[in-house]
Structure 1
């Protein structure tokens, strides 16, 4: 059975995006060899990536024309199967993409069909839907050592109360910390 895992980078004050769409400049504070290796380990365990419509479009735009220094990460991002969850997206040009209008139903079904990990990157609204449905098996959050003061929070109002168990803490030499929780 597949696991559904949330992977996100947030600021110390809880933002996963700055004031403008795709303002992820704070990611540069934590990026380095350690996080690159962690990212590759995650991608090697993945057999599917899951995105909401806005994140899908942004990721597709970036990864299909990624700089050469993105190397192995770009290869995984472009080759892995992807599920774009959207009621409005009509076509998906990014390689190996399927579109679903019923995100919760489709992911519930897909979790039973495979053995690799399914990762949700970004996709705050979609993640909220998965949280309400109790679909996440693991949360991996990297805290960037910065207060943004403004932007878009990852965890929106209305998510259910859920206690989590910390199973791993991984400090990075850049000052970031990766926290891994399970329900």
Structure 2
């Protein structure tokens, strides 16, 4: 059975990026020697799902941010990549996830963005949530959970506070309210 985990950072007011997609505000977290559990999490996943805008943000980094993992990019556009580990998906999230599972991937990281997260939420396809709340108020931007958002009951697995002020909360979906 495939497990989908939303592992993401959000501002205190619930934004994952500026309106233009910018994530420069996350640089306040750059503390030498601190990865906020990212390395352990990354090793635990088999594949990544992300939206095309998030994919394009990743292309702007000095290095591809998801090495050694198959990345499934959801898009309606005709995008191309010379990377063998990037697959473009235009199917529904339910059908695509079934296809990803059929390929043997069991632990999936749902990277973002907001519209893709919402699609997974609409079908109750997110099993766990690891949300890193950043002590910043952006005031506007791309919402973590854009409406309409269905109700979900979550159980807290654990939480951890870091010296940077980041608060990371790990939840498991228990069902509908």
TM-score (norm 1): 0.85
Q: Any gaps of 5 or more consecutive residues in structure 2?
A: none
Partner of 1:171: 161
**Partners in 2 of 1:86 and 1:19 — Cα distance?**
19
Partner of 1:91: 80
Please give the root-mean-square deviation of Cα atoms over the aligned residues, in Å: 2.0
The 3 A distance-change label for structure 1 pair 141 and 171 is same
**Partners in 2 of 1:87 and 1:11 — Cα distance?**
28
**Partners in 2 of 1:83 and 1:95 — Cα distance?**
11
**Partners in 2 of 1:139 and 1:111 — Cα distance?**
19
Alignment of 1:1-183 (within 5 A): 1-21=1-21, 23-32=22-31, 35-36=34-35, 38-62=37-61, 65-66=62-63, 77-104=66-93, 105-111=95-101, 113-114=103-104, 116-183=106-173
Offset at 1:16?
Answer: 0.8
Offset at 1:94?
Answer: 3.4
Question: What SS does the corresponding residue of 1:5 show, helix, strand or coil?
Answer: strand
Offset at 1:78?
Answer: 2.3
Indicate if the aligned counterparts of 1:78 and 1:95 stay in contact, CA closer than 8 A: no
If each structure's helix is expressed as a fraction of its own residues, which one has the higher value?
A: 1
Offset at 1:107?
Answer: 1.0
Q: How many pairs does the alignment contain?
A: 172
**Partners in 2 of 1:158 and 1:171 — Cα distance?**
30
TM-score (norm 2): 0.87
Q: Which 4+ residue blocks in structure 1 deviate beyond 6 angstroms? A: none
